[in-house]
Amino acid sequence: MKAVSCSGCAERQAAPRPLDTIASGVLVAAGLVAGRWLGTPLLARLLLGAAMLAGGARVLPRGLAALRRLDADIHGLVTLAAAGAVAIGQWEEGALVVFLFSLGQALEEASLVRTRRALASLIDMAPRRPLAWRDGAFRPVEVDAVRPGDRLLVRPGERVPVDGQVVAGSSWLDESCLTGEPFPRAASPGEAVRAGALNRQGVLEVVATSGFRETTFARIIYLVEQAQAQKAPSQRIVDRFAARYTPLVVALAVATATLPPLVRGEPMVPWLYRALAFLLLACPCALVIATPVAVVSAIAQAARSGILIKGGRALETLGRVRAVAIDKTGTLTEGRPRVSGVYPAAGWSGRALLALAAAVEAGSEHPLGAAMRRAADEEAVDVPQATGFEALPGRGARAVVQGAICHVMRPDLLDAGALEPELQAAVARSPTAVVVTRGREVAGVIAFHDAVRHEAAQVVTALRGMGVHTVVVLSGDSPQAAAEAARAVGADAGEGSLGPEDKALRVRGLSVRSGTVAMVGDGINDAPALAAADVGIAMGAGATDVALETADVALLGTGLGGVVSAIALGRRASRVVVQNVVLAVGTKLVLLALAVPGWLTLWLAVLGDSGVALGVILNSLRLLGRRQPTVRQEPGLRPGNPAGETCRETVAEAPRWTG
């Protein structure tokens, strides 16, 4: 005989309908009244037989088919138990077995509806027939027919059908189903928009940049669907256990039914009854579903919060994380340089230096140039007109300002001794700095820093509170910048000047020293490290495409708080799986103890099996009903600003300002 499978516990296609179960219960009650109180055994058997047919209308055929294949799944065991009960004259027991099994499956089906709704709600959000420009007018088309370059109209209350760019109109977009962030964001011409975002206010005209199947939203649905088909490591262990365990159970049941009558000459009927009860109870239904229901519930809940988890293996690994490596630029930091210091040379003022630098960089697209222009604008500095702008890749930029050739350049391009000692010290202290010159005269030095995200320190604190004992910062920036970022957030160490392969080596070394490692990066230059980690977490909507290919987890929000939520969810899911296994095994052991003296009845065996399975499902569904802990992410607030004043990104915050 093949191993007892519990496919019936995991596949609900043949689950009883509520009316089948109700009819079976009514007929069982009528049969008990007819047999015990009215004294009409023939009528009682007819009613009890009808109860078995009603409750087993969708179960018994599968059971008979399984028995013919010698594949004794739970449907086959129930069918065998009901037939055995009738054979030994226990019609009431047989009817109760079928009714209770039918009731248990109906309740399980009702409970699992919540898990299915989590996915269905995502699928229902997908626009079916958006308005696309066709033949001189906006007309409804199938979403799969939308191609890059198509013009689309998104009205208030509708969802953006595909990823695109706004070309006309303005509105507020609710992206909570994508990122988990509750506040709408403004959308105006030039802004990128993503499929699934809900248009709250105005009419938008959008040019598609992708088809629906290439959108982030379609990938969310795909990943949640895939998660239901993938098996977590613990689930595979349980399946292997069941494959060895169930043949042993069948052999013990056969021995229970045959050995006492053959060896000691005892009556066959009582031992056959015990064997049937033992076989029903020993089926590991609850154990087999202990992991998959919890995994699907957790992954569906994560998707609601803008966290994409690629299957049960990634979820379980999140629950074991003991060390976290975080990329600096664009992940731990905002990825946007700011002016942190203005150091004028003798004879120059700070405002004059900043005005000259902003003039040279007026035509530049470099991030440092943008930072200098922002600083000048915020300080209301009058910027003179420049001509003849020329970018010098890898060196800086130059332009003609008020008749003189001016440069913004790297400090190491100047001759030794060209800078005053104070300016040399400023360059040495700064992770990034530029020198501004007018003709042959040095006007001064401007320093920059990449600001740490305002929630980063809270995230590190939260990780430590969850049992993560090592947090390190990895960066391709200078060692000084990496160390400063690590100190700012409370990490254990910061390493700089690392290439992609260097980061991967550091992650592997951290895994050897500290245990399970999560790598948090932007999913582009961090791809080797994300792949080398036990679980890779790609952060940020801008890196979504690479994240879904490389990392195990993708955070669609823009903040680091999703890292805390993902790891917390993994830990909670792991606890729920352990609880499920303990509940399944512990309850079965208690009931099996009742079988030794013969106290276990058929109906109690079925009640125990179905009840434990239902308990496992309900326990798993708790993962759907509770949001994970998050870190507050308030724009304009940074650590060390408890009063909540808005932080201005101005040169006034620089460590030195003269003039």
Of 81, 75, 49, 70, residue with least CA distance to 60 = 75
pLDDT tens digits for 536-548? 998 765 544 554 5
Give the three-state DSSP class for 363. Answer: helix
pTM to 2 decimals? Answer: 0.63
Across the chain, mean pLDDT equals 78
Q: Which residue has the higher pLDDT, 493 or 59?
A: 493
- State yes or no: is 174 an active-site residue: no
| Dist. CA 220–CA 215, nearest whole Å | 9
% of residues, the chain, pLDDT over 70:
76
pLDDT at position 391: 85
Query: pLDDT category, 374, cuts 50, 70, 90?
Result: very high
Residue 645 has pLDDT above 50, yes or no: no
Of 109, 51, 80, 52, residue with least CA distance to 605 = 80
Query: pLDDT category, 641, cuts 50, 70, 90?
Result: very low
Residue 386 has pLDDT above 80, yes or no: yes
Angle CA 635–638–640, to nearest 5: 155
Of 413, 403, 478, residue with least CA distance to 445 = 413
The token duo for 224 is 């949640």
Instruction: Evaluate whether 564 touches 462 at the Cβ level (below 8 Å).
Output: yes
Query: pLDDT category, 240, cuts 50, 70, 90?
Result: low
pLDDT at position 78: 73
pLDDT tens digits for 135-168? 889 999 988 888 999 999 999 888 888 889 999 9
Q: Which residue has the higher pLDDT, 315 or 308?
A: 315
Q: Which of 150, 327, 526, 552 is catalytic?
A: 327
- Amino acid sitting at position 481: A
pLDDT tens digits for 104-120? 667 656 655 655 555 55
pLDDT tens digits for 1-50? 344 444 444 444 445 567 888 888 899 889 888 887 888 888 988 998 89
Residue 179 has pLDDT above 90, yes or no: no
Arithmetic mean of pLDDT, 274-287: 70
| Dist. CA 64–CA 439, nearest whole Å | 95
Arithmetic mean of pLDDT, 114-133: 64
Residue 314 has pLDDT above 80, yes or no: yes
Residue 410 has pLDDT above 80, yes or no: yes
Q: How do 493-495 and 470-474 pair as beta strands?
A: parallel
Question: First CA to last CA across the chain, in angstroms?
Answer: 91
Residue 253 has pLDDT above 80, yes or no: no
pLDDT tens digits for 392-407? 876 889 999 999 999 9
User: Where in 63-156 does DSSP place strands (E)?
Assistant: 131-134, 137-140, 151-154
pLDDT at position 575: 93
Residue 450 has pLDDT above 90, yes or no: no
pLDDT tens digits for 494-532? 998 887 788 889 999 999 999 999 999 875 567 788 888
Query: pLDDT category, 654, cuts 50, 70, 90?
Result: very low
pLDDT tens digits for 427-442? 888 878 899 999 989 9
Q: Which residue has the higher pLDDT, 286 or 264?
A: 264
Of 358, 222, 372, 375, residue with least CA distance to 299 = 222
Residue 479 has pLDDT above 90, yes or no: no
Q: Which domains are assigned to the chain?
A: 131-220 (2.70.150.10), 305-333+453-575 (3.40.50.1000), 336-451 (3.40.1110.10)
Please tell me which of 90-94, 97-101, 171-175 the model is most confident about, judged by mean pLDDT.
171-175
Please tell me which of 179-183, 185-189, 236-240, 647-651 the model is most confident about, judged by mean pLDDT.
185-189
> At 204, which helix (H) or strand (E)?
strand 204-208
Q: Poorest-confidence range of 216-230, 367-381, 457-471?
A: 216-230
Arithmetic mean of pLDDT, 270-276: 77
Q: Which residue has the higher pLDDT, 391 or 59?
A: 391
Q: Which residue has the higher pLDDT, 83 or 249?
A: 83
% of residues, the chain, pLDDT over 90:
27
DSSP string, 129-190: S-EEEETTEEEE--GGG--TT-EEEE-TTPBP-SSEEEEE--EEEE-HHHH---S-EEE-TT
pLDDT at position 67: 67
pLDDT at position 222: 63
